[in-house]
Structure 1
Amino acid sequence: MKKILILLSLVFASALQAQEWQPSFNDAVSKAKEENKPIVLVFSGSDWCAPCIRLKKHIFDSDEFKAYASEHYVLYNADFPRKKQNQLPEPLMATNKSLIERYNPKGYFPLVVVLDKNEKVLGETGFVARSTPEKYIATLNKFIK
């Protein structure tokens, strides 16, 4: 019984720490306005772009980034997978295509665009080799302040 309680408390604690990637860009904008937070818009190729995969693994999936992001950012991933089994539903893909036309017309991957709650671009960055979650957060925060 004690092991079950410990496991449940760990699951609950990690759920509280997890950053929440919004299911749609409209949801991200609504949440940003509601909570007065910037939007971190990530353009990625989750199944083909090696720097995108490394950025996710080393930065976005880190405990440090998850904890900080859940309190300070609204996150949206505009993904462009290539493998057939990873294809997105057509409405979501259409939204991501409109976002790439608006915020990433040169098609850079990965590209991380920081927007204010009114969708104005505050700054952009990408994958930075040998960066740490703390350094990456500092880079994103430079655009906000």
Structure 2
Amino acid sequence: MGKQSMLLKALLSFMLIFIIVGISFGQNWQTNFQAAQNKAKTDHKPIVLVFSGSDWCAPCMKLEQEIWNSDTFKSYSDAHLVLYKADFPRKKKNQPDNEQLKKNKELAEKYNSKGFFPLVVVLDETGKVLGETGYKKMTADAYIKQLESFIK
């Protein structure tokens, strides 16, 4: 009985960790913009393109913590949006590979020519800009309503 009990506890612990990790990483940020556009066309969903400086931009970090990481936004985005983050970290250890950096710069030239951080651009499935916003101190629900106002 003792070995079975220990095995059951270990199994339950593993399952709990798996569930927590699944919830934490449940958000589906695309890593390739072309793939994001293809998914948007297939699923008929808008794209939320985020220009971020993940390791130096305080408002970017707040947006990440308060909105993108909220359970409310994660649930909503999984059902209604295609997400893509063009990150421009400054620390060498956080730098994306050269190919990704080049693609992010091309997106910035097209959609963020003024260099605002953070900049959240809502695009239709063809890449047409529907609206733009940035960090604002608000709830995830209010932020979602703002994004929806661009889409409708």
* TM-score by shorter chain over 0.5: yes
Matched, 1:8 2:15: yes
Are residue 93 (structure 1) and residue 101 (structure 2) matched? yes
The aligned runs of 1:56-71 (5 Å cut-off) are 56-71=64-79
Distance 2:147 2:42 in 1: 20
Identity of aligned residues (%): 53
Q: Measured at CA, do residues 63 and 10 of structure 1 come closer, stay the same or move farther in structure 2, by a change above 3 Å?
A: farther
* Normalised TM-score (structure 2): 0.88
Shift of 1:50: 0.3
The TM-score with structure 1 as length reference comes to 0.92
- Larger of the two Rg values belongs to structure: 2
Structure 2: 5+ residue stretches without partners = 1-7
The alpha carbon displacement at 1:31 in A equals 0.8
**Displacement of 1:14 after TM fit?**
6.5
Residue from 41, 45, 69 that aligns with 1:37: 45
3-state secondary structure, aligned to 2:96: coil
Question: Any gaps of 5 or more consecutive residues in structure 1?
Answer: none
Structure 1 residue aligned with 2:148, among 129, 141, 144? 141
**What CA RMSD, in Å, does the superposition of the two structures yield over aligned residues?**
1.8
1:12-53 Cα distance to aligned partner (Å, 9 max, x none)? 487378220001111111111111100000000000000000
Report 1:53-132 matches (<5 A).
53-129=61-137, 131-132=138-139
